[in-house]
Amino acid sequence: MARSSTSVDVAVIGAGPYGLSLAAHLRARGVDHRIFGEPMAAWKSNMPPGMLLKSYPWASSISDPGSDFTVKNFCTERALPYHDELMPLPLNRFIEYGEAFQDALRARRGAQGSDGAGARPGRPSRQFR
Ligand SMILES: Cc1cc2nc3c(=O)[nH]c(=O)nc-3n(C[C@H](O)[C@H](O)[C@H](O)COP(=O)(O)OP(=O)(O)OC[C@H]3O[C@@H](n4cnc5c(N)ncnc54)[C@H](O)[C@@H]3O)c2cc1C
């Protein structure tokens, strides 16, 4: 039976830290997938402004297959202050990190060519695909 052009093997609902991570791991394994939702939406809308993360910076990274896109690497590449334990991670910095994680994956997919999961026109630009 022919597959519909809109069907995928895995749908990830929600683009929070775990959804973004899951998408990264699915992509690395070549699993046909699509992720739905505004990246880091709960962190943007449901957290107290000015909040500092409870988790240590070293424990706040979003898992990716090569462990390349850690909070530490994100801050280091941008000359932002970072320490594994001796400073808290501000809410806005974590949101920026999550959005950059999404952008990095999107760029990686662009470099590799379409994975068939979401390279279709007409999607909102802030949707992680
Ligand atoms: C005040 C507060 C402080 C916290 N501090 C920390 C901390 O310091 N460190 C830490 O590790 N954790 C912290 N947490 C826990 C944190 O929420 C989780 O660690 C993390 O966000 C879990 O990621 P997630 O992707 O599972 O969930 P979420 O971040 O909640 O993401 C789920 C996403 O799914 C979306 N969604 C839901 N339904 C749909 C749908 N039908 N369609 C599309 N999208 C949908 C939501 O909008 C949301 O964006 C804190 C939580 C709270 C409330």
Q: Residue of the nearest CA to atom 44 in ligand 1?
A: 14
Task: Output the CA 2–ligand 1 centroid distance in Å.
Answer: 37
Q: Is the CB of 42 under 6 A from ligand 1?
A: yes
Report the pLDDT value the prediction gives residue 116, as an integer from 0 to 100: 35
Q: Residue of the nearest CA to atom 10 in ligand 1?
A: 55
Mean pLDDT, to the nearest integer, of 4-8? 78
Burial 15-34 (b: 16+ CB within 10 A, else e): bbbebbbbbbebbeeeeebb
pLDDT at 18 over 70: yes
Task: Output the CA 17–ligand 1 centroid distance in Å.
Answer: 7
pLDDT at 4 over 70: no
The ranges assigned to domains in the chain are: 10-112
pTM score, whole prediction: 0.87
Task: Output the CA 33–ligand 1 centroid distance in Å.
Answer: 20
How many angstroms separate the CA atoms of 64 and 34, rounded?
16
How many angstroms separate the CA atoms of 115 and 27, rounded?
8
3-state secondary structure of 7: coil
- Which atom number of ligand 1 is nearest to the Cα of residue 53? 8
- In the numeric block, which tokens belong to residue 57? 């910076």
